[in-house]
Chains A and B, each alone.
Chain A
Amino acid sequence: MTYNSFSFLLFFPIVFIVYYLIGKQYRYIYLCIVSAASYLLIGPRFLMILLAETAIIYTSAMLISSYSGKGEIKKAKVCFAVSIIACVGILAVCKYSSSFVGIIGVSFYTLQLLGYLIDVYRGSIEAESNFVRLLLFASFFPTIVCGPIERSTNLLQQIKNGVEFDHDSVRTGYLTILWGYYIKFVIADMIHPLVISSFESYENYGALNMVLATALYSIEIYADFSGYSYMAIGTAKMLGFDICENFKQPYFATSIKDFWRRWHISLSKWLRDYIYIPLGGSRCSKIKLYRNLFITFLISGIWHGTGWCFVFWGILHGLYQILGDATINIRNRVRGVVRIDNTCFSYKLFRIIGTFIVVSFAWFFFRADSFRSACSMLRFGMQNMRNLDVCLETDALKNVFIAMLPMVLVDIIRERGIILRDRIIRQNYVFRWSIYVLGAAAVIVLLLRNYGVSASDFIYAQF
């Protein structure tokens, strides 16, 4: 069940009401059943794989905890290694085997479970003895499909402690969901066909068309992914759970390093804590630092998708970071010599634009059907630099910019530390209720826009 379906509008209110009607000590069981059932609806195979991985991690964590307690460190290490290999193996099969391709959510919950196992192995948390709680942690329906990738120290702890009904959380969660619907189903869905038509017909236009299309894609992927994240965070919030933030105005980043502190935060923190830092992080020689960055981003690329273009995208980001670090002294020196004030707004804007350009260049490969087609498109663009024709109509672009304005404004406000939904909640009830009701009506209209097939499918033109 996905957020972009009417069935979610029916499903979630019922789940929500029943959830708060049942006793606090049973809520996690109910939520686990609901999460597993909604995942089962996607496909029985999906649930089998989830159960298998959860069982492996559950057993392994209990054994590691037991062995560590008895001082049998070697056995704990073997157990740890075997279960990591098993889960990564399952993930690899799901991604690369044609029989298992399309298992939704496996990339997300695998990392979640591995993170939990590593935390247990390190002794950061105790092994969870209740299988249902761990299964809920892995299958939590708001986050299973698209994240955020939660930590055992956060979500699992909240599941263990139980949640109380909180009026403000429900209101905040609801407003967050509405915001997610807007940026996903208005902005992202509006940009999507423009990007497709621009890339599909690139041979009829020139470099400017490709630049515009890539810039639009950068916005589309942000709106799409952050929209889903907001819906997930809002849904969890309404159920009383605080899920980690996943995006922090990423296109306001002033460097690639800053970008990764703002983009898909849950993944970048996971990679930092479980790959980068164990490799040595930045507390080592430059060569090792660059090696660590390269490996971390290579893994990130592989995690994102199966094609070479994803690998290249990951490597590119790794190289960006390496280059950034390698040239930082030179850049500081140059800035000092030419006396550029790096605290002024114009310099910050310059860095924001520069970062957006390099990030968008990487997105170009991320979006491509294959690495080969990306290269041929690039070659074509370079050969047609003077062709300023674009596929996109002015009206369509104008509509996109108008739709984007609220998102940009909200991001600017958030960058200054102001959370708009908290301000809305403090307004008088007429204003608040207008937002609540109009928001719900807008969601229904948005879902209707994207619902079903074209009317021509119902026209009997064949006979």
Chain B
Amino acid sequence: MEWVAENLHRLIFYVLAAMTLSSGMVVVFARRIVYAAFALFFTFLGLAGLYASLGADFLAITQIAIYAGGILVLLLFGVMFTQNISMQPFRAEVMQFWPSLVVMILGGVGLITLIKMARFPEVVPGDPQDTIAPIGESLLTTYLLPFELASVLLVIALIGAVIVARARPKEEKHGDTP
């Protein structure tokens, strides 16, 4: 029992990492895009848990609210609105599967070796503290400019997305619509 108490953080990390990576694998290898979208939901949840295990409480909630609750819903809407009604299947769903797999495995081995070889300064992290107040302070003092630019970016993206995705009128003239 003491083994569990001592390695609790590590145990939680392994469970969350297993959940995240197995859902990630479903996103990669799924047959249908809806399966991949739902597996992506679990990937985002696992990542939120990993952020929480790193003491980033505000970021974990933000991840669930924005990624799982916003971006994923947007992706599902996108999948739904672009289903091909005439039921023509995609030709050969996956392109160049085996070469990409080889490259990915080689890259993975290389990256993981590099990570294992790296020496980072030994820092024992302290107890996790509340992050909302420090994040709020830095957003309004140190990172004020990126904060304002991000709001401008969001407005531009909103307007731009609405304009780009407007339904076209029935007759498609070439120079007509912006």
Do A and B belong to a common assembly?
A: no
